[in-house]
Structure 1
Amino acid sequence: MGTVRRGDLVVAPFMWSDGVCDYCREGLNTSCEHGGFWGSVGYDGGQGEAVRVPFADGTLVGLPKDAASDDRLLTALLSLSDVMGTGHHAALGAGARAGATVAVVGDGAVGLCAVLAAKRLGAERIIALGRHLARTDIARRFGATDVVAERGDAAVEAVRELTRGQGAHAVVEAVGTEQSMRTAVDITRDGGTVGWVGVPHGSGTGIDLGVMFDRNIALRGGVAPVRAYIPELLPDVLDGTIDPSPVFDLTLGLEDVPAGYKAMDERTALKVLVAN
């Protein structure tokens, strides 16, 4: 018997997975033996009037039908398909917990959702590193106690000044450049952890294994298995405990998807919602 039926309102993660292989059962749906990405050769993309979902019962998560009548709630629920789950993955990987100081490198949608996730996990202090005022305003709304606008060495100095020279217990890296990774490591407290979800791009990783070895810094992260997190996060979105909807700051029709990608690339939009 299938778990989803015609007419259901559902959320779809950014990868499909069968839900029954060893990896899926262990909560690592992104390594599913039969999984894949939307738009792979031979499969539909995820943006269209209709999409065929491989392994729909293992991939899709049903939502309350009345959620469709609440635009804000529906937008918040959409974040579970990627950015909220990815921010949660980063915060968990970094070890965000009650009483901890968490720093988040990156003010994109994932970084902002990591701030929200860290707050949800009980972090006492959350330092958001970002330079765009509209985005850092959202970070504060999501629970950031401090904002650092500097980059590079200046950012490291600022974070260490805020933390009595020690750095943060848990650091989220949500950018993926060599500089951002170096900053993440440099602002991590000895014995702390970097939660890495920024897709790597550029000439190098910025990781100095000698530094990490000497200071007992751990590195965890990778592609977020958001399907595994949806059942945990969904109730908190439905009851308003967390509201990731502000990360969507531009709504376009399906015919304007290219303009949406351009807006995000040019940083005139944080995250685009496509409404048909």
Structure 2
Amino acid sequence: MRGVVMYGPGDVRVEEREDPRIIEPTDAIVRLTATCICGSDLWPYRGVEPVDHTLMGHEYLGVVEEVGSEVSTVKAGDFVVGSFVISDNTCEICRAGFQSKCVHAEFVHGGIGTQAELARIPHADGTLVATPGQPDEDLIPSLLAASDVLGTGWFAADAAQAGPGKTVAVVGDGAVGLMAILAAKQLGAERIIAMSRHPERQKLARYYGATDIVEERGEAGVAKVKELTGGLGAHSVVEAVGTRESFMQAVGATRGGGHLGYVGVNYDVQIPGIELFFAGIHTLGGPAPVRRYLPELIQLIWDRTIDPGKVFDLTLPLSEAAAGYAAMDERRATKVLLTL
């Protein structure tokens, strides 16, 4: 099969790899219908995260080809969407809703890699969710988004306790930030402030439910959010970038007693503890437990209640994955879908 391998920073190749096979009785083999490039894939691409002949990709959907003898919730022929973190969905931590911290948690990239034609998915019963039937082609982008970017944005909005009567501010206008706006809207937020400087992303933010746009950043951005909220700050804030500036902007934009959901992957970011201490806010974040939300998100997409697939603004064949990485790195694309 063909798959994407990152040899080193900026060095992305599509090459022939051995077809995966069932190893454990809890495994499933999925023939992928589509995959995509995640913003977090840019960390190794830029040399921030170590990379050396790494199998890339962790967002995926497709048709089950084969299952191990202990798999019972999906079968060959099922169309499935999977989480970007492997989980058994039965351990004590999973039952508490934090499948990304499952006792068997394993990130799909690296050892598995789903920017490929086939993938072996461990703990298939706990990781994969079958769709109600074979989806129409127009649903593929949206269902693919549920595998990570939509689920991550949803977790961020949920962690920030977005809901009726709440004002939500979203720091970051990338794919996850846009999905957090969609989630905040679906969760019933009264007002949604998108912090964005990019006209095209602002349009999509408004499409997904943003009521206000703030172009200022840093302290100026915080001041603008407070101006829009009577000097108090937002009830709920999402941090979807992963830099010190974005995190402190999110902290400053959150009112006392408010909630901050942070999902931006950060490296070497130092947060001043004294500022966080005196902010007097609730914080929750980290790798999103996408599996918690998958059944609900799949149904919302299936019913055409939400359309997260619009977040993909560039589609390329798998063979042109390197061009997709370059486009996202250079901010010529928000999120790239790879066809198979």
TM-score by length of 2: 0.76
State how far apart, in whole Å, the 2-side matches of 1:66 and 1:12 are: 15
Q: Helix, strand or coil: the match of 2:168?
A: strand
What is the match of residue 144 of structure 2? 78
1:101 aligns with 2:167: yes
What is the match of residue 254 of structure 1? 318
Deviations 1:110-151 (A, max 9, x none): 000000100011100000001111111100000000001111
What is the match of residue 94 of structure 2? 24
Query: Which amino acid in structure 1 is aligned with residue 102 of structure 2?
Result: C
Alpha-carbon contact 1:212-1:218 (below 8 Å) kept: no
1:54 aligns with 2:127: no
State how far apart, in whole Å, the 2-side matches of 1:195 and 1:34 are: 24
What is the match of residue 270 of structure 1? 334
Alpha-carbon contact 1:171-1:187 (below 8 Å) kept: yes
1:10 aligns with 2:10: no
Q: State the 1:231 CA deviation.
A: 1.3
State how far apart, in whole Å, the 2-side matches of 1:19 and 1:128 are: 34
State how far apart, in whole Å, the 2-side matches of 1:255 and 1:30 are: 30
Q: State the 1:215 CA deviation.
A: 4.0
State how far apart, in whole Å, the 1-side matches of 2:227 and 2:105 are: 45
Deviations 1:222-248 (A, max 9, x none): 110101111122221111221111101
Alignment of 1:45-194 (within 5 A): 45-67=113-135, 69-71=136-138, 73-194=139-260
Q: State the 1:202 CA deviation.
A: 4.2
Deviations 1:154-180 (A, max 9, x none): 211211111111110000000010000
State how far apart, in whole Å, the 2-side matches of 1:39 and 1:144 are: 32
What is the match of residue 286 of structure 2? 222
State how far apart, in whole Å, the 2-side matches of 1:222 and 1:237 are: 25
Deviates more, 1:214-223 or 1:187-196: 214-223
Q: Helix, strand or coil: the match of 1:169?
A: strand
Deviates more, 1:45-54 or 1:14-23: 14-23
State how far apart, in whole Å, the 1-side matches of 2:275 and 2:339 are: 47
State how far apart, in whole Å, the 2-side matches of 1:203 and 1:241 are: 37
1:245 aligns with 2:309: yes
Alpha-carbon contact 1:88-1:117 (below 8 Å) kept: yes
Alpha-carbon contact 1:170-1:188 (below 8 Å) kept: yes
State how far apart, in whole Å, the 2-side matches of 1:257 and 1:99 are: 43
State how far apart, in whole Å, the 2-side matches of 1:224 and 1:246 are: 21
Q: State the 1:209 CA deviation.
A: 3.5
TM-score by length of 1: 0.94
State how far apart, in whole Å, the 2-side matches of 1:182 and 1:55 are: 38
* Long gaps (5+) in structure 1: none
* Long gaps (5+) in structure 2: 1-70
Q: Which has the higher helix share?
A: 1
Q: Helix, strand or coil: the match of 1:260?
A: helix
Q: Which has the higher strand share?
A: 2
Q: State the 1:15 CA deviation.
A: 1.4
How much identity, in percent, do the aligned residues show? 54
State how far apart, in whole Å, the 2-side matches of 1:214 and 1:268 are: 39
Q: State the 1:107 CA deviation.
A: 0.2
